[in-house]
Structure 1
């Protein structure tokens, strides 16, 4: 009799804990992730813990122009459509959306569940977001046939993860330099005419199945240490420009550029730009500028970005 009571008590407590777990995370994790948490032996820490994760930071390009062309109700409808499509992709890749900041999305991979493939999953999610946007342009029906494009930054590293806030109000969120750099990489896309930039930390965690090219070595606002940035190439979406990128020639141009051989770098990048490489066009202009106005003798091949 006592054994039956203890067993019933055990299942009651376990069921209560599972209900608490579901309620705690139901508003910011996908149902499949919650199921894995409930079925697992180890629940995530509900305080704060340091985890190795990947952050996807996304923002709509020219969002101000889009918002000014829409009535408030239309803008809400547009944002809900966009955010739903992008969130579905993040969750399908095992991530969760930490927060929306207007049109911006902060996606987290590798928490609360440990994911050894958090970096490639974040990069693949970024590529799929980019691809999905191209597929659904007509569904947005924006005035003047405006196109919707997103800039995405992905960074990997350690961050503080957990329920953070006041005693009365808190959110399961991530904070730290890893998050900040992802946001900076999103903004860095404007300097290179790219859609997606990832850090060297993320790149080394990805396998060879993802085609990635090195873009430049940059110093972003608020950081003194340079970071090497890379562009993942989507070869599956029918983008002819991306399919015909000459990755070896770009790498050669980048090598000349870093060595201070700006005339040779300009020639290589200019030829690639003529073939449709948008990043090479930016690098060609930059190399030409340095050719006309040589840098100091301590040139280290680092581009300082002065805007977020």
Structure 2
């Protein structure tokens, strides 16, 4: 489901909820006349207005009990003189008399969260949230709203007993909702559906950004925004309609309140890190770290003490939140003034988010209940974030196009000068060094980057070299190398150097380019061998080794003699992998960690070949053999029996040599030219007789 559809769905449910509810206009002096209300419209009524309130009274009311008229919704803290409760902690009973039509029908009453427990009585129906008592010991807090249905006619009396000794605020922060059973059910369904839809949208949006960060781990903003979305999704069931109770009816009240409070601080710090990721160093990192430490203190502090203590600081938290939001807004505005890319769009989204949450904080502070404005603001902010991601992606694409055009223009300008030199130092190498021309290269220039290294060499090279006249050796070598270069360049790579008949090529576009280049080289050699056979020459077999990792490209030598080169363990490992191709009679060998980075791995037939250890290092490297369908019968047989081969490999690693031997023999029987299977047969037979020690790990050490 697209983001636009999610926003539309959420707005539809919000509109439905608003249409199903209408404020009452006649709740005065503890009574309401609904005898002529048009119930057929399917709307429910929010029971706003003046209710009778009997302070310090629970259970049966004495006939001469005194009462006051206090507004609903309102907290006792806001009307201490009328409620008779100064600090919000106490108990009392609300009474509302309602006149109904003479015809009996099924009604329903829905009471959202109360500070902190209540008992509702209508006729002979009673429903509880927690347990209200006259003191802290007998009161059991709960944040769960309740609804129930009853049959009535002529008149009813709604009695709500409220008790609070565990929270700073007491009273009715939300007005009860009254209407036909169908109307109330539709309202609750619309409210819950919107919460669930928003939670799901937040979760998916967070997951999307985590995946984006996984593939582009330099985009820190994707990680923090994904984390922000997941925390927000976790928070939603704990606020508003408290849908968490639908999943966990017995969840502790203290945990619900803690998550409601603590998640606000976590969201605040994640949002700061997210902004820092979008606009690096524009907000002091030290300041963000100090705030992060403060948030960690608050989270631990909230776990140690009870809600009745830390809720006392709610106003302080709200003021700090507003100060934090204003400060961040000022910094974002400064970004807009300085003209940072996307800052104006982000600032607009932040304003939407800011006013949505400030409005909800204002409602919470004044005790006028809750709204869905913050949820709408979140939806709109999602749209802003998606716009920024789209713009940055488009900008990156445009930059690549512009860079390509710029490179072509520069190439034309310097083509006469660089045509000859580029044959010695590839232009791609200059590009990676950030140079426009070879004249700019100087000793010590370097660039560190992640690249894929490909080594290719002919197995029979020296046998052929020593069998042909001296004057033909260069011609033969160039004839072979002339077929390698186009395969590399066609797949967005470049040749860094030639080492006799060996070719070292570099790829910056991912492992898939190097794999495709290796396959093209093998097919090109097959075509070349057909021509050689026609002249009675020996066919050529090339082994190719591939590995990806960090590399250092640079210029070595001295002032009068420069050479481009690449220095890294990646080069060393790729060369050693290539050296194993002849041992296993394998066309293409790749380190498995590099192969796993292929974007379309399922399209490549390969088999795990061996676990090896580089000489002088303790790290184990798993190598895989990339197989080419149709290139020869040996490769086709390897593809056909690769599952049996890999199963035998893992038996071998577990030192189950009997099972491994059976597997390798089966593979070798069907493909006698599978040298790897033959090698493992010999290994298994040896270890079966010689045995292995407790430190067996199945790894083959590289001696050369």
Same fold by TM-score, threshold 0.5 exceeded? yes
Q: Structure 1 234/88 Cα, relative in aligned 2: closer, same or farther at 3 Å? A: same
**Structure 1: distance between partners of 2:684 and 2:492:** 40
**Cα distance per residue 1:59-112 (max 9 Å; x no partner):** 1103221111111122211111100001111111111111111111111111xx
Which of these residues, 631, 634, 648, is aligned with residue 241 of structure 1? Answer: 634
- Aligned position for 2:546: 154
Map residues 29-68 of structure 1 onto 2, 5 A cutoff.
Answer: 47-68=445-466
2:250 maps to 1:250: no
**Structure 1: distance between partners of 2:581 and 2:525:** 17
**Structure 1: distance between partners of 2:695 and 2:476:** 49
Q: Which has the larger radius of gyration?
A: 2
- Aligned position for 1:180: 572
* Coordinate RMSD, CA, aligned: 3.0
Q: Structure 1 29/243 Cα, relative in aligned 2: closer, same or farther at 3 Å? A: farther
- Aligned position for 1:168: 560
After TM superposition, give the deviation of residue 121 of structure 1 in Å: 0.9
CA contact (8 A) 1:57 1:186 kept: yes
After TM superposition, give the deviation of residue 154 of structure 1 in Å: 0.6
**Structure 1: distance between partners of 2:410 and 2:459:** 46
Whose relative contact order is higher, 1 or 2, with alpha carbons under 8 Å and at least 6 apart?
A: 1
**Structure 2: distance between partners of 1:123 and 1:62:** 23
Q: Secondary structure at the match of 2:616?
A: coil
After TM superposition, give the deviation of residue 145 of structure 1 in Å: 3.9
**Cα distance per residue 1:208-231 (max 9 Å; x no partner):** 222221111001333331100011
**Structure 2: distance between partners of 1:225 and 1:293:** 25
Q: Structure 1 136/15 Cα, relative in aligned 2: closer, same or farther at 3 Å? A: closer
Which of these residues, 63, 67, 74, is aligned with residue 472 of structure 2? Answer: 74
Q: Structure 1 50/22 Cα, relative in aligned 2: closer, same or farther at 3 Å? A: farther
CA contact (8 A) 1:157 1:201 kept: no
- Aligned position for 1:26: 422
After TM superposition, give the deviation of residue 255 of structure 1 in Å: 1.0
**Structure 2: distance between partners of 1:143 and 1:305:** 39
After TM superposition, give the deviation of residue 52 of structure 1 in Å: 0.4
**Cα distance per residue 1:90-146 (max 9 Å; x no partner):** 111111111111111111111xxxx2x2x1111121122122112211434699742
**Structure 2: distance between partners of 1:60 and 1:243:** 22
CA contact (8 A) 2:456 2:543 kept: yes
Q: Structure 1 141/68 Cα, relative in aligned 2: closer, same or farther at 3 Å? A: farther
**Cα distance per residue 1:1-41 (max 9 Å; x no partner):** xxxxxxxxxx9xx969952897286215778x69xx6xxx9
**Structure 2: distance between partners of 1:52 and 1:105:** 19
Q: Secondary structure at the match of 2:596?
A: helix
Q: Secondary structure at the match of 1:136?
A: helix
Q: TM-score by structure 1 length?
A: 0.82
**Structure 2: distance between partners of 1:30 and 1:91:** 11
Q: Secondary structure at the match of 2:414?
A: helix
After TM superposition, give the deviation of residue 290 of structure 1 in Å: 1.4
**Structure 2: distance between partners of 1:126 and 1:270:** 29
Structure 1 unaligned blocks of 5 or more: 1-10
Structure 2 unaligned blocks of 5 or more: 1-405
- Aligned position for 1:214: 608
After TM superposition, give the deviation of residue 42 of structure 1 in Å: 9.0
2:656 maps to 1:261: yes
- Aligned position for 1:105: 503
Q: TM-score by structure 2 length?
A: 0.37
